[in-house]
Amino acid sequence: MLRRASMLLARRPILAARARPFSTDLPAAPSADATFTEAWTKVIPNMDPPKTSLSFMQPRPPTPSSIPSKLTVNFVLPYASELATKEVDMVIVPATTGQMGVLPGHVATIAELKPGVLSVHKGSEVTKYFVSSGFVFIHANSFADIIAVEAVPLDRLDVNLVQKGLAEFTSKLSSATTDLEKAEAQIGIDVHSALNSALTG
């Protein structure tokens, strides 16, 4: 039976032309939803249709034919933009799977961030941030979008306050009685442990 299945599979032609394109191979210009706009004007003719997020975004640049020399980085927080279309040599992000270096031409990837140090390298200059969590979106056109819940430059952190916070959350964990208290204390320990190791090396 296995021989028959392998023979059937071997006879099937591989159709490269029918392969599904990557999202980065799709056209960069956003397409307007004409059906929605038409339906909206039928129901509410005296009001403009609402704008979607695509209305506010610039079209994505096309994927270059050769690898660019720089990586373009957008680093945003819910309340601020740390880096906007900054060209750098490399970024190192604290992904949940481990430290991940991103260079120009990196394969398209999405990774979740864990508490740790985000390093931005431009020439001999290295800027380090501590990020609590978030996501990084790496696009095939050598653009990287880093979205963090909270971030602070590493040189603005106080080692003594971090170690004090670590001790407080450790004592909270030992005295916690409910699952919620234990979870909150464990999150505090994880973040302060990452802060401590980032500052003490």
The tens digit of pLDDT for each residue in 39-67 reads 888 888 888 887 665 565 566 666 667 78
69: helix, strand or coil:
coil
Average pLDDT, rounded, for the chain:
80
Q: Which fold has domain 69-156?
A: ATP Synthase; domain 1 (2.60.15)
pLDDT category at 198 given cuts 50, 70, 90 is confident
Q: Do the beta carbons of residue 82 and residue 129 sit within 8 Å?
A: yes
Q: Which residues contact 24 (CB under 8 A, 6 or more apart)?
A: 63, 108, 139, 140, 141
What is the Cα–Cα distance from 49 to 26, expressed in whole angstroms?
26
pLDDT at site 193? 87
- Which residue, among 129, 116, 141, has the nearest Cα to 77 in the 3D structure? 129
pLDDT at site 7? 54
Task: Tell me the average pLDDT across 111-130.
Answer: 92
pLDDT at site 200? 81
Task: Tell me the average pLDDT across 111-125.
Answer: 92
Identity at 20, one-letter amino acid code:
R
Identity at 68, one-letter amino acid code:
P
Q: What DSSP letter does each residue of 106-173 carry, written as one string?
A: PPPEEEEE-SEEEEEEETTEEEEEEE-SEEEEE-TTSEEEEEES-EEEGGG--HHHHHHHHHHHHHHH
pLDDT at site 32? 55
Among 78-82, 121-125, 164-168, which is the least confidently predicted range? 78-82
pLDDT category at 26 given cuts 50, 70, 90 is very low
**pLDDT higher than threshold 50 for residue 70:** yes
**pLDDT higher than threshold 70 for residue 2:** no
| Global pTM value | 0.64
pLDDT at site 128? 92
pLDDT at site 147? 92
Chain region(s) in the chain for CATH 2.60.15.10: 69-156
**pLDDT higher than threshold 70 for residue 28:** no
Which tokens is 150 given?
């909270």
